[in-house]
Chains A and B, each alone.
Chain A
Amino acid sequence: MIDEHTKNNHIIDYGTYIFVWLGLIALTSLTVTISGMRFGNYTLFLALLIAAIQATYVAANFMHIKTSEPIFKVFVGVVVFTLIVIFILTFIL
């Protein structure tokens, strides 16, 4: 039982997590800087793009989706896809 449990739980370096966190902080600074510039309609698009990258980073690394069984990857993919479809349908209907 123990073996099976450890097998399914990849042990990741502390350093990797800290590296991901640094990336997240850098992206936060980037999005704040970009919002200060005036890119007009692109500002919202860029802000949401950066937010999506940050969310993917958190899900993949901190929520361990990257090292999870394929079923969890499929799960997350389906849910995100459904949300995007609902968003698109709201605007075209």
Chain B
Amino acid sequence: MESNESFAHTESHVHRDGEGVKIGIWLFLFAELVLFGGMFIVYTVYRFKYPDQFHLAAMEMNTTFGTINTIILLTGSLTMVLSIAAIQRKNRFLSILFVASTIFFGLLFLVNKFIEWSNEIGKGIYPGSDALLKKGNGEVLFFDLYFAMTGLHGLHVFIGIIVLTFMLVFLLKNKIVFDNYIKLENSGLYWHLVVVIWIFLFPLFYLIQ
């Protein structure tokens, strides 16, 4: 009885600094932006140096794959934000369903990416391959940047899936509830940033034919 009382006492005075945690996650997101920003600068510099070869290399890209993956990520972003909207309304079931959907869309994106990369590697196009090294400098740079940037982005999606899996477990164990969902909100912020980076990768690699 006594322990129950002391538990209730601690519970009512629990201190959560939601704003502080949010500032922390935003600082991390800005570091991520600078990381990708640097790569975007490298891309832009070489694209201006080798405009024709970048166009030529981009002819090999499959716009349909890119478009489908964009729609998948945008839809994942929607389900992510809907899971937060659901937990705010105390609808735990919907929140769980939406987080699971987001994980599903993330996996779907990676499966698509895997098929796409397999196609390219099948054609002998991968960093350092003989087929690639026979091409011009600009084309080599395009594909090296393509594999580096979409690869790093894919890694971020993969990490996002792991983080969201933890969130799913927390929701199932009632550790994320309607008045304490900071973890879910911050995971969402990371997930949306990954989508924002893709929004820029998509036109730069798939839409320059």
Contact = CB atoms under 8 A, between A and B. Distances in A.
Contacts of A5: 16, 18, 179-180
Nearest to A35: B207
A42 interface: no
B95 interface: no
A58 B195 contact: yes
By DSSP majority rule, is chain B's interface helix, strand, loop, or mixed? helix
A59 B196 contact: yes
Interface residues of B, number: 48
Interface in B80-139: 80-82, 85, 88-89
Contact of A75 (B16, B30, B196): B30
B117 to A, nearest CB: 21
Given A24-B74, A32-B207, A47-B207, 19 more contacts: A9-B185, A14-B85, A28-B67, A28-B71, A35-B203, A43-B207, A47-B203, A47-B204, A48-B200, A55-B200, A58-B192, A62-B192, A63-B192, A69-B19, A72-B26, A75-B23, A75-B30, A86-B37, A90-B44
A67 interface: no
Interface string B125-167: 0000000000000000000000000000000000000000000
9 contacts: A12-B85, A14-B82, A14-B85, A21-B74, A47-B204, A47-B208, A58-B77, A76-B26, A86-B37
Interface of B: 14-16, 18-19, 22-23, 26, 30, 33-34, 37, 40-41, 44-45, 48, 63, 67, 70-71, 74-75, 77-78, 80-82, 85, 88-89, 179-180, 185, 188-189, 192-193, 195-196, 199-200, 202-204, 207-209
Contact of B207 (A1, A31, A87): A31
Contacts of A71: 23
By DSSP majority rule, is chain A's interface helix, strand, loop, or mixed? helix
A62 B80 contact: yes
Interface residues of A, number: 43
A55 B88 contact: no
Most buried by A among B77, B203, B208, B209: B203
Contact of A62 (B18, B19, B77, B179): B77
Nearest to B200: A51
Contact of A21 (B15, B75, B85): B75
A59 B189 CA distance: 9
A90 B45 contact: yes
